[in-house]
Amino acid sequence: MPLLEIKNLTHFFGGLRAVHNFNTTIEPGEIRGLIGPNGAGKTTVFNLTTGVYKPTQGQILFDGQDITGKPPHQIGKLGISRTYQNLRLWGNLTALDNVKIAFYGRIRYGLLGAFFGLNGRYEEERRIDQEARELMALLDIEQYADMVVSGLPYGIQRKVEMARALATKPKLLLLDEPTAGMTPAEMEETMEFVLYIRDKFNLTIWLIEHKMRFVMGLCSHIQVLNFGEIIAEGPPEAIQNHPEVIRAYLGTAVT
Ligand SMILES: Nc1ncnc2c1ncn2[C@@H]1O[C@H](COP(=O)(O)OP(=O)(O)OP(=O)(O)O)[C@@H](O)[C@H]1O
Ligand SMILES: [Mg+2]
């Protein structure tokens, strides 16, 4: 059974058709790529998948369940997590606190804890602290845990955001331009990192990227969007030399 299946997804922003008849089937463990020129509709596809927008038309099935039109927190609980094209971290908080934020959605003490003393809460708080630090250690960023996030190198901030996305124990992780703003060396390192987290956390990964070396090196199957429609798809070799893809990127170097 595929982990994610999207059928005939269409989305309008007013009169603008941002996504038109988008289809995909992603198998567990896969690293899947979504590419296309600026404004092609890539982020919108992710926003529809995570419930930020309700699709105008179409169906999204995740892990055998119809999640079409469900709100983001429910979709998150079912096991889809993401990072953003523009980092969304709390700049004034420490790296650790940014990761811990993701754990609070799973807190157990609830209302009863508020009535029946603080012990449960302290216990829960300590557990979250420990789990967040362990997660950061796995990602090799534990040394930054207590530093304010806005002062950290960009590549590390990206890792903090990934740690936060992993805290909810997702099955499917969506990465929207994970190497935007990175140096070539940081990009190489991120390629290794994506493979590492895929294996370590048993993930399926769906990623958007403009850097062809990154996409071609990681993905087994790539879909190309242009003006909201899929214009090509297949393995990296087929995409690289596809005339439609070259035309869509004309004026932009395919590197
Ligand atoms: N909330 C919104 N309201 C209105 N129009 C939107 C909204 N979000 C996106 N769009 C428009 O939808 C189209 C697709 O945008 P989207 O952000 O999905 O593109 P993208 O492929 O992610 O581009 P980029 O590579 O620049 O990130 C664009 O024309 C964009 O201006
Ligand atoms: Mg985008």
Query: Is a pLDDT exceeding 60 seen at residue 91?
Result: yes
**Helix H segments across 60-109?**
72-78, 95-103
Q: pLDDT band for position 115 (50/70/90)?
A: low
Query: Is a pLDDT exceeding 90 seen at residue 119?
Result: no
Residue 110 lies in a domain: yes
Residues of the chain with pLDDT > 70, as a percent, come to: 91
Q: How far apart are CA 33 and CA 71, in angstroms?
A: 24
Same-domain status, 1 and 68: yes
Q: Is the CB of 40 under 6 A from ligand 1?
A: yes
Inter-residue contact 85 to 105 (CB < 8 Å): no
Residue 195 lies in a domain: yes
Same-domain status, 8 and 31: yes
Q: pLDDT band for position 246 (50/70/90)?
A: confident
Packing angle between helix 154-166 and helix 119-138, nearest 10 degrees?
Answer: 130
Query: Is a pLDDT exceeding 70 seen at residue 114?
Result: no
Same-domain status, 151 and 206: no
Q: How far apart are CA 151 and CA 161, in angstroms?
A: 14
Q: How far apart are CA 223 and CA 116, in angstroms?
A: 53
Same-domain status, 71 and 10: yes
* The amino acid at 36: G
Q: How far apart are CA 54 and CA 71, in angstroms?
A: 9
Q: Which distant-in-sequence residues (6+ apart) come within 8 Å of 206 by Cβ?
A: 4, 26, 31, 32, 33, 34, 46, 172, 173, 174, 175
Q: pLDDT band for position 218 (50/70/90)?
A: very high
Backbone phi, then psi, for 108, in 5-degree steps?
A: -105, -25
Same-domain status, 121 and 182: no
CA of 39 to the centre of ligand 1 (A): 5
Pick the atom of ligand 1 nearest to 37's CA: 25
Same-domain status, 108 and 130: yes
The whole-number average pLDDT for the span 143-153 is: 96
CA of 89 to the centre of ligand 1 (A): 21
Burial class (CB in 10 A: 0-12, 13-18, 19+), 120: middle
Pick the atom of ligand 1 nearest to 45's CA: 18
Same-domain status, 184 and 143: no
CB atoms within 10 A of CB 196: 13
The whole-number average pLDDT for the span 31-36 is: 97
Residue 164 lies in a domain: no
For the CA atoms of 41, 44, 50, 51, what is the dihedral angle to 10 degrees?
-140
Q: In which domain, by residue range, is 128 found?
A: 91-157
Q: Which two tokens stand for residue 98?
A: 């940014």
Domain count, the chain: 2
Query: Is a pLDDT exceeding 80 seen at residue 170?
Result: yes
Pick the atom of ligand 1 nearest to 210's CA: 25
CA of 41 to the centre of ligand 1 (A): 5
* The amino acid at 220: S
Q: How far apart are CA 213 and CA 229, in angstroms?
A: 23
Residue 33's CATH number: 3.40.50.300
Q: Is the CB of 252 under 6 A from ligand 1?
A: no
Q: How far is CA 179 from CA 31, 158, 196, 226, in A?
A: 15, 8, 16, 21
Residue 20 lies in a domain: yes
The last residue of one of the domains, among 104, 125, 157, is 157
Query: Is a pLDDT exceeding 80 seen at residue 255?
Result: no
Is 0.85 surpassed by the pTM of this model? yes
The residues with which 80 forms a beta bridge, in sequence order, are 172
Residue 28 lies in a domain: yes
Same-domain status, 130 and 244: no
Q: What is the pLDDT of residue 96?
A: 96
The last residue of one of the domains, among 157, 184, 201, is 157
Query: Is a pLDDT exceeding 90 seen at residue 253?
Result: no
